[in-house]
Structure 1
Amino acid sequence: MQKADDHRNRTFTWEDPAQSAQKASQMSGLEYLSAISREEIPMPPVMKLLGVEVLLVNENGVSLEFVPKEYHYNTIGGVHGGIYSTLLDSVISCAVHATLEKGIGYSTIDLKVNFIRPMTIETGLVSCLGNVVNSGRRLAFAEGKIIDQANKLLATATGTCMIHR
């Protein structure tokens, strides 16, 4: 039986994602993501849920910073693989988004993640980096990685995004 002091809770707030999506349709991907980086447009709700606060974007790719917390843990005391996957999908798909012109959308159709090292609270701040490897008219291929502050590789991923023209 659990004791009362074993219970924890967490709350978070987010803005209406429909308003941000409307703005996204009126800007290039790079303009939109740069506006998020400058905090002119709010982070997507999923990033708020995870606790991601920093998004950086340029022509070469996308990076975000993440600090693992206890609420990211799986049943054996490490950050859940779904968190790794969500972070990597985010930087990969945002790297693709940054290359797209106004009015062009995308969706992830494939994601392959390689889990290399465990992530825990003790890991501290990690950087998630994504860049486009090749982009065509219908498909874009990108890669991502998660590294700790000592530049140790925690995970890698490759992904494919369908481009919606």
Structure 2
Amino acid sequence: MDQQEPSRTRTFSWEDPTIALRQGKNMSGFEYLKAIQAGELPPPPISPLLDMQITEVKEGRVTFALEPAEYQYNPLGSVHGGVLASLLDSSLGCAVQSLLPAGTGYTTIELKINYVRAVTHTTGMIYSEGTVIHMGGRIATAEARATDKAGKLYAHATTTCLIMRPERSKPSS
């Protein structure tokens, strides 16, 4: 029996990286992130969901910004820690992605966050700048800081990412 990929219903328009690769859009991680930042490719669905966007892409460093809002609140009356975790994880992972060649993926295998102070809708824009610390053949590490416009620290994080390089085809005998 021939198995097909299940179809998905889309509520956001975005450039699914697996489809883009199948269509020959062989972009490096840096090129892909720059295209999203420039609006040439739509952002992944998590970005409009949390109202966050890429503000800067450099090789090994990516910054995201998020405007805190009440719809992101937890029961304690501040922005849910998961929102900040998503912001930090995005800048961390994308910093790693910015150094990857075309056809190479990554996934977060560890994320450590220290929350320093609460974020509310009155905090103003929060920026998360992720920077690669180490880029190896299979493992990458990065660090990020979530700050406001004045540089006040709200959280900081580190990550370990698994690099998923394409398998090389073996010569036939």
Please indicate, yes or no, whether the TM-score normalized by the shorter chain is above 0.5: yes
* Structure 1 residue 55, shift from structure 2 partner: 3.4
- Residue equivalent to 1:44: 44
* Structure 1 residue 36, shift from structure 2 partner: 0.4
**CA RMSD for the aligned pairs?**
1.4
**Which structure: greater helix fraction?**
1
TM-score for both structures, normalised by structure 2: 0.83
Q: Tell me the amino acid that sits aligned with residue 22 of structure 1.
A: I
Structure 1: runs of 5 or more not aligned: 1-12
SS for the counterpart of 1:108 is: strand
Q: Does 1:67 align with 2:67?
A: yes
Contact 2:125 2:149 in 1 (8 A): yes
Residue identity (%): 43
Work out which of the two has the higher radius of gyration on C-alpha atoms and give 1 or 2. 2
- Within 5 A, what are the aligned runs for 1:1-165? 14-18=12-16, 20-23=17-20, 26-165=26-165
TM-score for both structures, normalised by structure 1: 0.87
Cα distance in 2 for partners of 1:106, 1:59 equals: 16
Deviations 1:31-52 (A, max 9, x none): 0000001000011101110011
Cα distance in 1 for partners of 2:18, 2:40 equals: 13
Deviations 1:7-58 (A, max 9, x none): xxxxxx621453x443366210000000001000011101110011343201
Structure 2: runs of 5 or more not aligned: 1-10, 166-173
Q: Which runs of 4+ in 1 moved over 3 A?
A: none
Cα distance in 2 for partners of 1:32, 1:160 equals: 21
Contact 1:68 1:79 in 2 (8 A): yes
